[in-house]
Structure 1
Amino acid sequence: MSLLSWNCRALGNPKTVQVLVDMVHAKRPNILFLAETFAGTNKLHSVRTKMGYSGLFCVNNDGHSGSLALLWKDGTSVSIQSYSKHHIDAIICLSPDDSEWRFTGYYGVPKRHRRQESWSLLRQLSSRCSLPWVVMGDFNDIMHLNEKRGGNPQPVRLIRGFCEAVEESGLKDFAFEGYQYTWERCKGSPNWVEAKLDRILISDSWGDLFSNARASSITTPKSDHMSLHLQILPPPMPSPRIRHRFENLWLRDAHCWEIMIESWSKSHGQNRPLWKSNLDLG
């Protein structure tokens, strides 16, 4: 079981669609969240068919923002709870015998003067449901100064505002392996900027439910964003108990018998001799 999130920066380009199809075939995510698809419902249904998904929910693009899509595999129960230009919220159940949990695909408001809207949305979503919760997507925010390289430093007020919203929403950052700067601009030039805009947030209860989960970033061409892949691994199988059996054949070897006498004396003391009456030494 796995989830994949990517700000694909427009699916109108056939090469971008092929990158997405190849990535899905390689990682096989049960749930796929896409931001900035710039694609209508008909286009997304065509892409869904190519990737082999049975479910699709999309928020149509409005100008140059808000085009989101959530896709899922057959056998995965997805119940959409709410949506907007900046999120899709759903309750997930992997099978009838599994616990329900909550997934939110998130796309933060890009404009700095409107970041408060993103933080308010996160707080509002946190109050709507108490199920174990995971949030993935492009937040357009960072949590630490060192999560951005190049360009002007991120204003401290924006970092503080985002961190407070995350904490007040009962969420925490979920670390992922791989390259940490998930977005870039003007690569290879003096104006090159990188930042960790894409991330995964989880509640404590989600972390407890999926304690073996792990995540990684994936380099993806045709977009200025990397994708994030979150794997939900099954709990480790308990090691089989090894039973040590005594073999009567050992008693036919005088050296083995001496070892047994010595070991018994060390563990039980000299005053408690090894019982011999029923032993056939041959």
Structure 2
Amino acid sequence: MSLIAWNCRGSVESLRSPKMLHVARLISSTSAQVIFISETCKSKTKRSSLINNFSLSDAFIVPVDGLSGGLWLLWKADYDIDVKKSSPNYILTTAMYKPLSLLVNLVCVYRDPHHSRTTSIWQDIHHFVVQYADVPTLCMGDLNVMNEHEKLGPHPVNHYRMLNFCNLVKECGFIDLGYNGPAYTWTNKRFNSYPTFECLDRCLANAKWCTSFPRTTVYHMPMMHSDHAPILTMLQSSRPKPKNSSNLRIGGSLRVIFMILQNKVG
């Protein structure tokens, strides 16, 4: 079973656009059953259109906020998802994974790019995870850096924001699941001047999740059609989980990611 989270970073005016065709390829190549897409911007796509276009069981949409934001949560028939609460920055759900008859929580987050709502966002998340403390919980999406080595560029990490975020994550009882693939998931694309690279997109989980799914493995996918890379979470991967993943995220090889895509698409 696998899940994808991607900040697609742009106007999604047509489900036949290159960006949405890329989403369809990601879903097909990874056999993803849950897909979280953030920052759909100007999109006015209807739920029924998403279901038909991506062959889904159901979908949930948080409308755009003006000309920015916008969240989609998409899922296949293996899941029965109940959205408990949503905002422009998150979707909080309980999800029944039917093949195992197992209830899990999914916390899908799109961070506030202006950082003014970060604390209130995570207070809502904390209230949700406390309410379902005995349920395996996975948190995924566009989050934040968690140590100073997760940024490369002309300016250093904002330590206040980083430490505040780490404290909020700790209060929720989450740990970082590590990753395989490139070290950075976002770039400002200023390659001719002063490029910046950061690891913003990640997966976190509580202790119950780690006990229930000890072989969960996270992959950073190739960065295409956006300044963010999609992240793929596989719950039954045969690859070993990276060591020291609670703080230092360890990079792996892109070869594994391309093999996944080639084997499925080809």
- State the 1:96 CA deviation: 6.4
The equivalent of 1:194 in structure 2 is: 197
**Over residues 47-96 of structure 1, what are the superposed CA-to-partner deviations in whole Å (9 max), with x where a residue is unaligned?**
43222112101101011333001111013211111111111111112216
RMSD of the TM alignment (CA)?
1.9
- Distance in 2 of aligned mates of 1:48 and 1:168: 36
- Distance in 1 of aligned mates of 2:54 and 2:107: 21
Partners of 1:122 and 1:166 within 8 A in 2: no
**3-state secondary structure, aligned to 1:216:** strand
Higher relative contact order (CA 8 A, sep 6+): 2
**Over residues 210-260 of structure 1, what are the superposed CA-to-partner deviations in whole Å (9 max), with x where a residue is unaligned?**
01111101113111000010111189xxxxxxxxxxxxxxxxxxxxxxxxx
- Distance in 2 of aligned mates of 1:196 and 1:231: 19
Pair 1:119–1:104, CA change in 2 (3 A): closer
- State the 1:12 CA deviation: 2.1
Radius of gyration: which is bigger? Answer: 1
1:134 aligns with 2:138: yes
The equivalent of 1:95 in structure 2 is: 98
- Distance in 1 of aligned mates of 2:112 and 2:102: 32
Q: Name stretches of at least 5 consecutive residues in structure 2 with no aligned partner.
A: 239-266
Partners of 1:91 and 1:100 within 8 A in 2: yes
- Distance in 1 of aligned mates of 2:44 and 2:76: 20
**TM-score using structure 1 length:** 0.78
- State the 1:164 CA deviation: 0.4
- Distance in 1 of aligned mates of 2:20 and 2:163: 37
**TM-score using structure 2 length:** 0.82
**3-state secondary structure, aligned to 1:127:** helix
**3-state secondary structure, aligned to 1:80:** strand
Q: Name stretches of at least 5 consecutive residues in structure 1 with no aligned partner.
A: 236-282
How is 1:1-282 mapped onto 2 (pairs within 5 angstroms)? 1-10=1-10, 11-12=12-13, 14-38=17-41, 39-42=43-46, 45-95=48-98, 97-130=100-133, 131-139=135-143, 141-233=144-236
Partners of 1:58 and 1:67 within 8 A in 2: yes
Q: Which letter maps to 1:186?
A: K
- Distance in 2 of aligned mates of 1:124 and 1:66: 23
* Residues matched between the structures, number: 234
